Amino acid sequence: MGLDKLMAGNKLWAENIKKSDPRFFEKLSELQNPEYLWIGCSDSRISPSSSLGLLPGQMFVHRNVANLVNHTDMNCLSAMQFAVEVLNVRHIIVSGHFGCGGVKAAMDDSRLGLIDNWLRHIQDIMHKYEGDLAAIADVDKRVDKLCTLNVIEQVINVGETTIVQDAWARGQNLAVHGWIYTIADGIYRDLNVSVRSLEELDAFRDRTYADRSHIAAGK
Ligand code: CO
């Protein structure tokens, strides 16, 4: 079947963790208390927890193709609601990555099947920032720019959810961050788009869109 090596790998992994903490899994089974919710791409080349030096139990994870946060995606919203309201995470990290295949496919307008409908959300972003993107001659750099813009848009989308807005209204300590990961060196970059309140979100959204109209006007 070819899956034996997965089972063997799993045993080795669990043994290694137990070497440094014999009761690790026993303790973990009693409580889940993560401080972070990571929303990222399904790309197989990214290992969210281990790439951040975290152990099981430290980060709640939601993944989909091209790390999208859509207002009607009950899967993503449910994960977010559980993380914020039940687990009380303090940070939501939207993590994109350069060279994202989903972003690339959206930009190429290639026909891949059902997923094209999902990637329409990225094409919406692409049209929104048409001026900025057209100014970049290199195709790979243009894709990377769209990967970055996608993270920024998803940070705003997270902030716009009733989940995050209600948390802020309750006075809950909750920050939303936008990061981008480079597969070629395994390093994350903070896009410095963190928002910690409704006021910060409003200011960030206004700043983001004001900048865009400025560029679109060719000034
Ligand atoms: Co991707």
Q: Which of 41, 62, 142, 144 is catalytic?
A: 41
Catalytic residue among 62, 91, 97, 177: 97
pTM beyond 0.85: the answer is: yes
Give, as one character, the DSSP assignment of residue 19: H
Q: How far is CA 92 from CA 19, 35, 140, 155, 183, in A?
A: 31, 9, 28, 9, 21
> H helices of 87-197, where?
101-108, 115-128, 130-134, 139-160, 162-169
Buried b or exposed e, range 80-108, using 16+ CB within 10 angstroms: bbebbeeeebebbbbbbbbbbbbbbbbbe
pLDDT tens per residue, range 14-66: 999 999 999 999 999 998 899 999 999 999 999 999 999 999 999 999 999 99
**Is the pLDDT higher at 145 or at 110?**
145
Which of the residues 100, 121, 142, 144 is marked catalytic? 100
Q: Which helix (H) or strand (E) holds 24?
A: helix 24-30
For residue 181, the CA-to-ligand 1 centroid distance in Å is 10
- pLDDT tens column, 130-145: 999 999 999 999 999 9
Instruction: Please give the pLDDT value at position 200.
Output: 98
Is 100 one of the catalytic residues?
Answer: yes
Convert the pLDDT of each residue in 153-195 to its tens digit: 999 999 999 999 999 999 999 999 999 999 999 999 999 999 9
What φ, ψ does residue 42 adopt, rounded to 5°? -75, -5
Residue 43: active-site member? yes
